[in-house]
Amino acid sequence: METVLDKFLRYISFDTMSDENSESQPSTSKQLVLLKLLVEELKAMGVNASMDKNGYVMASIPSNIDKKVPAIGFIAHVDTSPDAPGCNIKPQILKNYDGGDILLKGSGKYLRVEEFPEMAMYKGQTMITTDGTTLLGADDKAGVAEIMCVAEYLVKHPEVKHGKICIAFTPDEEIGRGVAAFDVKAFGADYGYTMDGGMIGELEYENFNAASVKIHVAGRNIHPGYAKNKMINSLLVAMELNAMLPVDQRPEFTSGYEGFFHITSFSGVVEQADVSYIIRDHDMARFQAKKTLMQQCVDFLNNKYGNIITCTVKDQYYNMREKVEPHFFVVENAIKAMKMAGVTPRVQPIRGGTDGANLSFMGLPCPNIFAGGHNFHGKLEFVPLESMEKAIEVIKNLVKIYSE
């Protein structure tokens, strides 16, 4: 069998960045290249697989036991975040990691233990990092590779008893549209798990409520020598808006169940400016309050400057907890599967979102399990090989648990 490292390195060689400004499905055609490859690889294993018109890859391995048991789905996304370069990835592979700082040779920067103390947990293991010029793609190609390894294992070991196993790979998760057109009925699973979590042991059935915000400021450009009482500098108005939002509710000052306002892009000239935000909170009431505050700030500035700001708020996904808790055994089974693999479960809220959030609201309860990576969406991303191997064990254990 091919190793998870072999699969992972192959998958991250594909540029699959999604694009929030695109209206196509999927948002970038380059995602389809990897998705088509996954179909080909599954078929080569002997697994029934296909890709629909929206770019969703679905596959299934039939049950090989007589009794009726739940069909279990495993899902991962192929796209990478637009927040950092995702092409020409040059991974660094450090065997028997010494527990110290790691030089990222492409940029001359370091992964420093002082800044990321969790690195010390992986002393003696094989660390896979970026070269400091791109993201790595462990979010979520680690999950893709793990699921593909289990699919290959089950096909090559028919003596392993299991119910129906459903597999899906999705585009556009990073821009909140991962399952916008996903056909849950066609997928065929009764319960699902996204392999899209972070460090080893993570298990999540709560996530943020999420919204995107697009701000456009239409200013008035006048020659600066004659601008008194005439110019409206859209850049300064946008900065004024940002200054009205609570500083302590920025991502860098929040943790746990604390939500935030996060400015993600800012561009413009004197005459016009565009600003993007994301709003996040686990609590629905606080989430709604944050959206209201944003609109109140816009209204205040429009009253001050004369209706020069447009604000478009779009909900992206909601907290899956209310949909998962009535089927809490799916969480308990994941905890059991981790303990069987010698992994200590770390049950915590996701400070983000997964395809599982929307899938849970679409009728497929879908907690999130670790894929093993750290520092997602940036050039300091890394994943220990042994964490990916443990994720494979967890999937195999879940297959066993649901077959009993």
> Each residue of 158-174: pLDDT tens digit?
999 999 999 999 999 99
AA identity, residue 404: E
Do 15 and 62 fall into the same domain?
A: yes
CA 311 distance to own-chain centroid: 26
Do 23 and 58 fall into the same domain?
A: yes
Residue-level pLDDT at 272: 98
Do 213 and 344 fall into the same domain?
A: no
Do 133 and 257 fall into the same domain?
A: no
Report the distance separating Cα 36 and Cα 42, nearest Å. 10
**Total length of the chain:** 404
Residue-level pLDDT at 73: 98
Tokens of 387: 């964490």
Strand partners of residue 168:
58, 75
Beta strands across the sheet bearing 209-218:
260-268, 272-281, 209-218, 309-317
Inform me whether the pLDDT recorded for 1 exceeds 90: no
| Contact (CB, 8 A) for 5 and 385 | yes
Strand partners of residue 320:
none
Report the distance separating Cα 230 and Cα 239, nearest Å. 19
Question: pLDDT tens for residues 5-34?
Answer: 999 999 999 999 999 889 999 999 999 999
Q: What is the mean pLDDT of residues 335-350?
A: 96
Residue where a domain terminates, one of 317, 335, 355: 317
Which of 6, 1, 11 has its CA nearest to residue 138? 11
Residue-level pLDDT at 38: 98
Report the distance separating Cα 157 and Cα 70, nearest Å. 20
Residues noted as catalytic: 79, 173
Question: pLDDT tens for residues 95-122?
Answer: 999 999 999 999 999 999 999 999 999 9
Question: pLDDT tens for residues 249-305?
Answer: 999 999 999 999 999 999 999 999 999 999 999 999 999 999 999 999 999 999 999
Do 292 and 232 fall into the same domain?
A: yes
Residue-level pLDDT at 59: 98
* CATH, residue 255: 3.30.70.360
Inform me whether the pLDDT recorded for 373 exceeds 90: yes
Residue-level pLDDT at 247: 98
Q: What is the mean pLDDT of residues 297-318?
A: 96
Report the distance separating Cα 19 and Cα 175, nearest Å. 7
Helix pair 329-340, 385-403: axis angle to 10 deg: 120
Residue-level pLDDT at 20: 87
Peptide bond into 26 cis (omega under 30): yes
Report the distance separating Cα 59 and Cα 289, nearest Å. 41
Do 144 and 58 fall into the same domain?
A: yes
Question: pLDDT tens for residues 348-367?
Answer: 998 888 899 999 999 999 99
Do 80 and 182 fall into the same domain?
A: yes
AA identity, residue 116: F
Give 116: exposed, middle or buried? Use CB within 10 Å, 0-12, 13-18, 19+: middle
Do strands 72-77 and 165-170 pair parallel, antiparallel, or not at all (unpaired)?
Answer: parallel
Do 179 and 232 fall into the same domain?
A: no
pTM of the predicted structure, to 2 decimals: 0.88
Beta strands across the sheet bearing 92-94:
92-94, 127-129, 382-384
Residue-level pLDDT at 353: 80
| Contact (CB, 8 A) for 282 and 319 | yes
Residue-level pLDDT at 354: 83
Do 341 and 299 fall into the same domain?
A: no
Q: How many structural domains does the chain have?
A: 2
Q: Give the other-Cβ count within 10 Å of 292's Cβ.
A: 11
Q: How much of the chain, in percent, has pLDDT values that exceed 90?
A: 97
Do 267 and 357 fall into the same domain?
A: no
Least confident of 143-157, 179-193, 351-365: 351-365
Residue-level pLDDT at 176: 83
In which residue are the tokens 């389809």 written?
Answer: 32
Domain residue limits at 269:
209-317
Do 29 and 92 fall into the same domain?
A: yes
Residue-level pLDDT at 6: 98
Residue-level pLDDT at 352: 83
AA identity, residue 144: V
* CATH, residue 180: 3.40.630.10
Tokens of 264: 């993600």
DSSP track, 99-160: SS-EEETTTTEEE-TTT-GGGGGGTTS-EEE--SSS---HHHHHHHHHHHHHHHHHHH-TTS
Residue where a domain terminates, one of 317, 335, 370: 317
Do 347 and 289 fall into the same domain?
A: no
In which residue are the tokens 């790691």 written?
Answer: 102
Inform me whether the pLDDT recorded for 334 exceeds 90: yes
| Mean pLDDT estimate for the chain | 97
Residue-level pLDDT at 107: 97
Q: Give the containing element (helix H, strand E) for 193.
A: strand 191-197
Question: pLDDT tens for residues 263-277?
Answer: 999 999 999 999 999
Residue where a domain terminates, one of 277, 295, 317: 317
Give 156: exposed, middle or buried? Use CB within 10 Å, 0-12, 13-18, 19+: exposed
